[in-house]
Structure 1
Amino acid sequence: MDTEIRPCSPLSFFLLFFLFSSLNIQHCGATDSISLGQSLSGNQTIVSKEGKFELGFFTPGNSRNYYIGIWYKTIPVQTVVWVANRATPISNTSSAELKISEDGKLVLLNISKIPVWSSNSTPSTSNSTVAVLLDTGNLVIRNGSNTTIWQSFDHPTDTWMPGGWLGVNKITEEYQSMTSWENRENPAPGPFAHSMDPDGSNQFVLLWNGSEIYWSGGLWNGQYFTAVPSTRESTPFNFTFVDNKQRKYAMYTIRDSSFITRCVIESSGLLKQLYWLNGAQEWQAIFTQPSAQCDVYSLCGAFGICDQKSSNICRCSYGFEPASMEEWEFNVWKSGCVRKTSLRCSNKSSTGGEGDRFVEMTNMRLPANPQNLTVGSARDCEQACLNSCSCNAYAYVSGCSIWNGDIRNLQQLYDGDSAAGTLHLRLSASDFPASMSSVEFLGSRVFSSD
């Protein structure tokens, strides 16, 4: 029996047209670019041409904040490699939008249509200005002449991608650095950074608070960085170092395009080169520095003690407690510890009560940057500390050293370690057991200042 083919009715034609139009809209939502007049909002994303990376709104962990980020499209564990508004989250994406502005910048508008982030790219009034997500994970903005006027690789967050660069712009003196997240649910800049050495030498360093160097990668010797084995020619990485009139920077690429890797500075202050292990469906570290986590400067924050042999690597000194329990639950200790009881700032109180005392902390790595005093004995050193309201600790090792203000980078060492010393930490007398003049606590002894 022959099949009769009938022309579509006007209603059927309209329904088919509506259906294909809807499909076309969905397809456009999965393109790799945002042009003038287009925007992203809600759960809309763009995907790089070969489907390797995706850009859109995301919420890290259990956070209720939203950010614009780029992550691997083909990896089941969401791994964000770049964040736009890392310090300015938004609370709702239904009315927020990412778009190209009239002057050619990529801007993120919150629900009140107020810009909370901008690419600050070179102004372009061309209607052809477009933001494109590349298969390298780089987001670029191109003007009508197809010239790149801005790219995310110039503004890394905590991740250094193959093809990206780190270094310094000699003209603007701006450093191109990686900065850790605050914690796994907050991509705001943390205290740790991976940067070129601020002193101008041809090496990369890890920095705390932009000032304290706690690891260096060694100088570039013309082929590799001497303290970084992964920069040698026999590895899957191809490193280059450029030093010209405009910039001084390092860049790495991958010899095998199927090898998925990234370099990240974690909230813990550790620098890791990771690669995706497809069989195990997880990221595997092939390079970690520093090798001992307690070598991260101020890992446990002010008055925190780092203990490499303990299951809980950070703890508070005796007489102190965590400044932020929420932070410590993330295994991030930036805020450190605070005193349970304020110091009296005297030997005796005005009412005749007991003054401050010292806890003797043995086998400790002594803090950096002491103030050295010329005194005749350990007792004189103790008294000098008591006489200063800002003095929080002293040590007497063939001479007197005192520490004012916050004490950082404390580490518990063990018998036989040549770097071990004894630190006397100042406490309020009320933090001591009332019936005892000394008490053993985690390798420490407490003594009255009398």
Structure 2
Amino acid sequence: MEIIILTSVITPLLLLSGFCFGFCTPIDTITSTQFIKDPETLVSNGSAFKLGFFTPADSTNRYVGIWYGTPSLSTVIWVANRDKPLTDFSGIVTISEDGNLLVMNGQKVIVWSSNVSNAAPNSIAQLLDSGNLFLRDNSGRITWESIQHPSHSFLPKMKISTNTHTGEKVVLTSWKSPSDPSIGSFSAGINPLNIPQVFVWNGSHPYWRSGPWNGQIFIGVSEMNSVFLNGFQVVDDKEGTVYETFTLANSSIFLYYVLTPEGTVVKTYREFGKEKWQVAWKSNKVECDVYGTCGAFGICNSGNSPICNCLKGYKPNYMEEWSRGNWTSGCVRKTALQCERTNSSGQQGKIDGFFRLTSVKVPDFADWSLPLEDECRKQCFKNCSCIAYSYYSSIGCMSWSGNMIDSQKFTQGGADLYIRLAYSELVEKRDMKAIISVTIVIGTIAFGIFTYFSWRWRGKQTVKDKSKGILLSDRGDVCRIYNMNMHGGNANQVKLEEFSLLNLEKLATATNNFHEANMLGQGGFGPVYRGKLPGGQEIAVKRLSRASAQGLEEFMNEVVICKIQHRNLVRLLGCCIEGDEKLLIYEYMPNKSLDTFLFDPLKREFLDWRKRFSIIEGIGRGLLYLHRDSRLRIIHRDLKASNILLDEDLNAKISDFGMARIFGSNQDQANTMRVVGTYGYMSPEYAMEGRFSEKSDVFSFGVLLLEIVSGRKNTGHQYDEQYLSLLVYAWTLWCEHNIKELIDETIAEACFQEEISRCIHVGLLCVQESAKDRPSISTVLSMLSSEIAHVPPPKQPPFSESNQLRQKKCSSSQVTITVIQGR
């Protein structure tokens, strides 16, 4: 009896579960017979996106839209019936008999249609994990796509475009308000004329502008760098259409742009496994970002008060308007140009010149041509109507002959703008009496200087530091470095290096007089500035601070060691020695240092595993060259993430050799009373006893390797109450057979697990407490490349947090990783 009752209960349940399996399973397609009704949804195969009915906040209307597969409706990225909302919950989405996608109300009235003339009967609509909804016929031909008809959001692989032949545009259009998805006042698209730029328009009037495209970035967006977007492109398809698109290689990041009802473009992202969306960038952060805030020939600087000023050589058009804060009337020239005076009256005068303004969002309406920088200047100078020019190496020559509008001063980025001025505007007028007085004083000083240098010339213009036994000769245009302590002090026999010597004035010009806006960073040696030489070459200038604890010895280290050429060492281009000034000139690294990417939650997305492994190998090859392959055997002593610079392709280059030491051919280690370096990267024998060797660098490399794999700093990051450093945390996870927990979630792809685990294993070998247990850097590289298949188990790294951790034993001490096949 009990069996009969139980069977009678279970059978309907099984039938019900079978019904739900057939009809309740999420679908990603719509047909004429398989449609969705409010409140049902369409779900993409990987559940990344949903299509369905929604009601905006503070509204009762219903709309059909696509949103990210999260509970928040603020992530709606596309809306179908924007201007014809449904007023109740009776709507359906289906395919019509002619093959079009339809949204209908309860009375079967069509409120929206894909409206394609070449649709075919029995078509289906499918929602993809890219957020694209497409319509295709039985042959697989796609007849309509939502990404070709965007609303207010810009997603990866989507295109906004302009056809230069027909004028047809694909643009983003804002909502009217957060509660009304109908088409608002603002639109965003690409203007391909002359040089492509992205615009936001308020109606037909420009509201925001990105500045020119240089092949990698828009130079009018100061926060952009060469990897601002992974795969960002502007493409001319040679058939009249210019489009902008972007792709993301890192699938663990959801990222898109939205045009708000206020006309601001907002970059929004969310990390995989997290529900919270974060804002990474906005187009309109300050008033200066609004197009033409300061009018024609005005320049906006959000750091000034008032924010608007006239460009040099210009004055307010209407002073009363400017005094009231109404700057849109712009500025007019104060003094006529020489070529204008010649044309109007035949009068001659001193020729015009150009005033350089650095880090500028260049004005709109630039004319474009291809000549080199010198030709660009000459071309503008010969043309009387040319009132300014700018040369950007990856763009070419930009010039202006009409109103210069929408200029903005940045603290970094942008381009140099050269404004044409009358001679009198370039040279300030001075009182004649003052000139006479200054002339007398200068004459006296000049005579004294001439006498001094005549005497000094016979001394071959040398600077000596006898305590260090070093001789620096700055004669002519070549810098020669000697070590007087070698080979009995015969300087002619021990010349170490010979390379370019740049004068201080040239470097001051290149860095805008070492302006703080050009400062890239500050180290123990002193500040580092970004500069540009007359030929357009970008450089980094390291200037020895007079207050620096580092001095001539560190300067000499940099000069001697950095002259060694290797693809994974930063290249030294020259030096400057004038008076108390000592400067070093390096190649410019556009992506700065590894730590700026690795420890930034957003920028970290650009370092996928293949790129991280390439960086690890690059650092290793650079160290191998220093330790074994160069003609000088060098111990770096300060290897850390901030001393690994990244070029435009994110290739690693070791920098900052001020703390380095050169070993003799038979020397394995040395001692010092002056322990220098960075806490967290120093080996225990060096930090505690002052002993350093190649194995000291190997320890630092191991710390770096674990940081690169985990995306976490060794120090300054509390993992939980127990583990106060990355080494402790990594060792504990190793002992618990839970090393996967250490891996940065942005690179935790299954296909790379074996290679990443090997890197962690090798990293732990490098940070073993005893120097003799650590492998050499050549062995490390062989382990990483799987040339050495059997990797021994690591021993405990140095702990300093507590005695309890000091005594922790690892039960997995015999675990090894063996790779049979080559990588």
1:348-396: per-residue Cα shift (whole Å, max 9, x none)?
Answer: xxxxxxxxxxxx9962224569xxxxxxxxxxxxxxxxxxxxxxxxxxx
Partner of 1:66: 62
1:29-72: per-residue Cα shift (whole Å, max 9, x none)?
Answer: x2111012222211100100001100000001120011001111
Partner of 1:39: 35
Partner of 2:616: none
Residue 161 (structure 1) aligned to one of 144, 152, 155: 155
More strand by share: 1
Structure 2 residue runs of 5 or longer lacking an equivalent are 294-301, 304-320, 331-823
Residue 80 (structure 1) aligned to one of 61, 73, 76: 76
Residue 227 (structure 1) aligned to one of 203, 220, 223: 220
- Give 1:213 shift: 1.2
Residue 101 (structure 2) aligned to one of 106, 110, 116: 106
- Work out whether residues 107 and 115 of structure 1, in 8 Å CA contact, stay in contact via their aligned partners in 2: yes
What is the CA–CA distance in structure 2 between the aligned matches of 1:83 and 1:268, rounded to whole Å?
Answer: 18
What is the CA–CA distance in structure 2 between the aligned matches of 1:106 and 1:368, rounded to whole Å?
Answer: 50
- Work out whether residues 238 and 252 of structure 1, in 8 Å CA contact, stay in contact via their aligned partners in 2: yes
- Give 1:4 shift: 7.2
Question: Is structure 2 residue 359 aligned with structure 1 residue 364?
Answer: no
Partner of 1:428: none
- Work out whether residues 236 and 256 of structure 1, in 8 Å CA contact, stay in contact via their aligned partners in 2: no
Specify the SS of the correspondent of 2:183. strand
Q: Which amino acid aligns with 1:160?
A: F
Matches within 5 A, 1:206-221: 206-209=200-203, 211-221=204-214
What is the CA–CA distance in structure 2 between the aligned matches of 1:212 and 1:48, rounded to whole Å?
Answer: 38
Q: Which amino acid aligns with 1:20?
A: G
Q: Which amino acid aligns with 2:186?
A: F
Question: Is structure 2 residue 48 aligned with structure 1 residue 52?
Answer: yes
What is the CA–CA distance in structure 2 between the aligned matches of 1:56 and 1:99, rounded to whole Å?
Answer: 12
**Identity over aligned pairs, percent:** 33
- Work out whether residues 163 and 251 of structure 1, in 8 Å CA contact, stay in contact via their aligned partners in 2: yes
Question: Is structure 2 residue 264 aligned with structure 1 residue 266?
Answer: no
CA 1:133–1:86 in structure 2 vs 1: closer, same or farther (change >3 Å)? same
What is the CA–CA distance in structure 1 between the aligned matches of 2:292 and 2:232, rounded to whole Å?
Answer: 31
Q: Which moved more, 1:273-282 or 1:50-59?
A: 273-282
- Work out whether residues 236 and 255 of structure 1, in 8 Å CA contact, stay in contact via their aligned partners in 2: no
Question: Is structure 2 residue 125 aligned with structure 1 residue 131?
Answer: yes
Partner of 1:395: none
- Give 1:170 shift: 4.7
Residue 176 (structure 2) aligned to one of 172, 176, 182: 182
What is the CA–CA distance in structure 2 between the aligned matches of 1:293 and 1:362, rounded to whole Å?
Answer: 17
- Give 1:250 shift: 1.0
What is the CA–CA distance in structure 1 between the aligned matches of 2:41 and 2:134, rounded to whole Å?
Answer: 16
Specify the SS of the correspondent of 1:37. coil
What is the CA–CA distance in structure 2 between the aligned matches of 1:243 and 1:63, rounded to whole Å?
Answer: 42
- Give 1:214 shift: 2.6
Partner of 1:412: none
Question: Is structure 2 residue 115 aligned with structure 1 residue 117?
Answer: no
CA 1:191–1:198 in structure 2 vs 1: closer, same or farther (change >3 Å)? farther
- Work out whether residues 81 and 112 of structure 2, in 8 Å CA contact, stay in contact via their aligned partners in 1: yes
Partner of 1:253: 247
CA 1:47–1:171 in structure 2 vs 1: closer, same or farther (change >3 Å)? farther
Specify the SS of the correspondent of 1:364. coil
- Work out whether residues 192 and 207 of structure 1, in 8 Å CA contact, stay in contact via their aligned partners in 2: yes
Specify the SS of the correspondent of 2:67. strand
Q: Which amino acid aligns with 1:24?
A: G
- Give 1:201 shift: 4.4
Structure 1 residue runs of 5 or longer lacking an equivalent are 300-307, 310-359, 370-450
Matches within 5 A, 1:46-445: 46-74=42-70, 76=72, 78-94=74-90, 96-127=91-122, 129-170=123-164, 172-197=166-191, 199=193, 201-209=195-203, 211-228=204-221, 232-244=225-237, 245-276=239-270, 281-293=275-287, 295-296=289-290, 363-367=324-328
What is the CA–CA distance in structure 2 between the aligned matches of 1:220 and 1:177, rounded to whole Å?
Answer: 18
What is the CA–CA distance in structure 1 between the aligned matches of 2:83 and 2:232, rounded to whole Å?
Answer: 31
- Work out whether residues 70 and 275 of structure 2, in 8 Å CA contact, stay in contact via their aligned partners in 1: no
- Give 1:199 shift: 5.0
- Work out whether residues 67 and 73 of structure 2, in 8 Å CA contact, stay in contact via their aligned partners in 1: no
CA 1:45–1:281 in structure 2 vs 1: closer, same or farther (change >3 Å)? closer
1:151-183: per-residue Cα shift (whole Å, max 9, x none)?
Answer: 111111111001101112456532111111111
What is the CA–CA distance in structure 2 between the aligned matches of 1:103 and 1:231, rounded to whole Å?
Answer: 47
What is the CA–CA distance in structure 1 between the aligned matches of 2:264 and 2:66, rounded to whole Å?
Answer: 22
CA 1:260–1:234 in structure 2 vs 1: closer, same or farther (change >3 Å)? same
CA 1:231–1:8 in structure 2 vs 1: closer, same or farther (change >3 Å)? same
- Work out whether residues 231 and 237 of structure 1, in 8 Å CA contact, stay in contact via their aligned partners in 2: no
CA 1:5–1:106 in structure 2 vs 1: closer, same or farther (change >3 Å)? same
Q: Which amino acid aligns with 1:37?
A: T
CA 1:298–1:263 in structure 2 vs 1: closer, same or farther (change >3 Å)? same
CA 1:232–1:361 in structure 2 vs 1: closer, same or farther (change >3 Å)? closer
Partner of 1:340: none
Q: What's the C-alpha RMSD, in Å, of the aligned pairs? A: 3.4
Specify the SS of the correspondent of 1:253. coil
What is the CA–CA distance in structure 2 between the aligned matches of 1:368 and 1:263, rounded to whole Å?
Answer: 33
What is the TM-score when the length of structure 2 is the normalising length?
0.34
What is the CA–CA distance in structure 2 between the aligned matches of 1:252 and 1:279, rounded to whole Å?
Answer: 23
CA 1:62–1:294 in structure 2 vs 1: closer, same or farther (change >3 Å)? farther
- Work out whether residues 51 and 74 of structure 1, in 8 Å CA contact, stay in contact via their aligned partners in 2: no
Residue 22 (structure 2) aligned to one of 21, 24, 28: 24
What is the CA–CA distance in structure 2 between the aligned matches of 1:66 and 1:294, rounded to whole Å?
Answer: 38
CA 1:365–1:281 in structure 2 vs 1: closer, same or farther (change >3 Å)? farther
- Work out whether residues 133 and 140 of structure 1, in 8 Å CA contact, stay in contact via their aligned partners in 2: yes
Partner of 1:440: none
- Give 1:194 shift: 1.1
What is the TM-score when the length of structure 1 is the normalising length?
0.60
- Give 1:291 shift: 2.9
Specify the SS of the correspondent of 1:120. coil
- Work out whether residues 269 and 296 of structure 1, in 8 Å CA contact, stay in contact via their aligned partners in 2: no
CA 1:231–1:176 in structure 2 vs 1: closer, same or farther (change >3 Å)? farther
- Work out whether residues 252 and 272 of structure 2, in 8 Å CA contact, stay in contact via their aligned partners in 1: no
Q: Which amino acid aligns with 2:68?
A: Y
Q: Which amino acid aligns with 1:119?
A: S
Specify the SS of the correspondent of 2:45. coil
- Work out whether residues 177 and 195 of structure 1, in 8 Å CA contact, stay in contact via their aligned partners in 2: yes
1:75-133: per-residue Cα shift (whole Å, max 9, x none)?
Answer: 64641011111111110122x21111111110111222111111122433342x11111
1:174-203: per-residue Cα shift (whole Å, max 9, x none)?
Answer: 211111111110011111111112757411
